Chains A and B, each alone.
Chain A
Amino acid sequence: MKFFRLSTFSFLAFLLATSLLASGCAGKKKNKKKQDQLAALRGDDIPLSSELEDWQFVEANDPLVFNDVYFQYNSSIIREDARPQLERIAEWLKDRRNVALMIEGHCDERGSKEYNLALGEQRALSVRRYLTGLGVDAERVYTVSYGEEKPLSDLHDDEGWSENRRAHFLITR
């Protein structure tokens, strides 16, 4: 399944690359977006957009679209079952070009706090990369990690832990 995903992605990357070459003199911003999308499909890092001036993110009113997505223990890889969810978010964002997205990365309480803060950021970035790969403008997707500092569930068992290993979404009004 993983190989299938990789090959689909590289095929998409190839298509994009050729269309990019063909379009040639597309606008600079559009060009940047395509470059980011290609980078995302290759699995490369996409630098975060310039400083966030002020915080205006709120909980989304659309719970069917903005469900949390979950991760395996000590992993930031996007799970198979998270993909339809992320595709819905990507479509939603593509329809509303003036909305920005904040992805919160969270971890369970096992593991050490500092490492988990960095892991939470990697989870958020991994979601950002996936959305960028689906054609969402990377410039309007931000990340914040809380590590294990803001658990959703206070259960200290497998159920609580898997609920806490999540990416949560906020949007601008």
Chain B
Amino acid sequence: MKKFLFTLLLLTMATSAIAQVSLSVSKRASSKTKLALADFECASSDETALAEELKGILKNDLKLSGHFLLMATGSVSGNSLREIANWKQRGAEVLVFTQMESRGSSIEVISKVIDVTSGQVVLKEKFKRPEADKAQLMHEVAEAIIQGVTGKPGLGASQIAFVSNRSGSKQVYTVDWDGRNLLQLTNGREIAIYPKWSPLEQKILCTDYSNRLPHIFVLDLVKQTKKPLSKRPGLNAFARYSPDGKKMVLTLSRDGNPELYTCMADGSRLKRLTRTKSVESSPCWTPDGKKIVFVSNRSGSPQIYWMNADGSQVQRLTRRGRYNTSPEVSPDGNLIAYCSMVGGKFQLFVLDPETRESVQVTRDTNSNEDPSWGPNSRHLAYTSTKKYKSDIYLIDINEGHPIRLTRGLKDCTSPSWSPSY
């Protein structure tokens, strides 16, 4: 009888999770916009190959956004009224026309987006970038199209910071979300780990052992500088800027136990938030700056909690799972991604802090951890480990389809996705 009850419980748990996911999937499938992306119009025939390449990038970005069903366009390129009517008949809802011209070492693109149903021009905008930045140029175009049609943010030309052991010592790197433009940011003799992107500026906070002790450093990507912000006795780790950029939250052990503190962005004016016998780690802010989500093992095992930014009203958010860590709140504030140990491996989950319901995002045989939200509040970057080798992957929480981001680098972990600038 006991066994039967247990099976029944498992079954209900499983069906409720599936029901929830399939419900949202069907809703989303119907909300996809049918988009026809016409071939690019070039100023000269020499540019056809480049135009094809750029169209490929744009097409990939639009598809990956999850908002569109891309229609087979063949070689259609015109945008006459007759042609628009023709597309309407074939079921298209949005038409994207692009004119492209190389000017010296830069590329200029004019993008025109037409809502077929109303016949209105949703977007007509000119973009220009050096040819070397052609991918970023197309990401910008894709971002404008996504925002113009859906009103929601895409991934833009955002980047991902992460840790790699490529040089033989763990250091912080950045890469564009499409895998281009790999850059090594730190190059010390000691390790630099756990990068956390500022929500406002081109700055990354990391836990750096340059002084042979874990201290908080800020990497300024514009000024190309690195300077210490917190080097108090003991552990200084996991610092994150508040949404307004004025404060930081971090873990310190100066008072004899790893606890959470806030301070000003320059490291001054420390305020202690927690007072426990347990470990407190991995804090992050909600986008309104009112709450701090964090990990604590006060119950005996690591679980996700949140509290007011002044340390009051601590509440536990995760109920299921014996080991839940690495929370990050989505930029739109609606969901908290975290990882949970399932059968000895980590899997990604998302949690609705209002209902406290969790849904599992990854289900493969790798160990998947450290989720970080993309600026569209829909994609997650994470560490995926197979046979003790780690790489950074991206996944759309609605549609699945993990995409591998890093290749041929050694041991890539701890991704942090930048905002869209």
Contacts and interface: CB of A to CB of B under 8 A. Distances in A.
Contact of B213 (A43, A74, A129, A144): A144
Given A117-B281, A121-B234, A112 B257 contact: no
A123 to B, nearest CB: 10
B198 interface: no
A37 interface: no
Interface in A138-161: 142-145, 149, 156
Q: How large is the interface on A (under 10, 10 to 19, 20 to 34, 35 or more residues)?
A: 20 to 34
Contact of A114 (B191, B237, B344): B237
Contacts, number: 109
A145 B258 CA distance: 11
A147 to B, nearest CB: 9
A55 B213 CA distance: 9
Contacts of A45: 255-257
A117 B279 CA distance: 10
B358 interface: no
A48 interface: yes
Contacts of A43: 277
Nearest to A138: B256
Interface string A44-57: 11111111100100
Interface stretch (B45-53, B108-116, B295-303, B394-402): B295-303
B87 interface: no
A125 interface: yes
Interface in B286-306: 295, 297, 301-302
B231 A48 contact: no
B253 A149 contact: no
Interface in A120-137: 121-122, 125, 129
Of B170, B214, B414, the most chain A CB neighbours within 10 A belong to: B214
A111 B339 CA distance: 10
Contacts of B251: 118
| A50, A51, A112, A156 — most chain B CB neighbours (10 Å) | A112
Interface string B350-386: 0000000000000000000110000000000000000
A64 B74 CA distance: 78
A111 B323 contact: yes
B297 A117 contact: no
Ordered nearest first, which 10 A-B pairs have the shortest CB separation? A45-B256, A48-B233, A118-B281, A112-B325, A121-B235, A118-B258, A118-B279, A55-B212, A48-B234, A114-B282
15 contacts: A47-B254, A48-B254, A52-B213, A52-B233, A111-B302, A112-B325, A114-B414, A115-B326, A118-B251, A118-B280, A122-B253, A122-B258, A144-B214, A149-B193, A156-B388
Interface of B: 170, 191, 193-194, 207, 211-214, 231-235, 237-238, 251, 253-258, 277, 279-282, 295, 297, 301-302, 323, 325-326, 339, 344, 346, 369-370, 388, 413-414
Interface of A: 43-52, 55, 74, 76, 110-115, 117-119, 121-122, 125, 129, 142-145, 149, 156
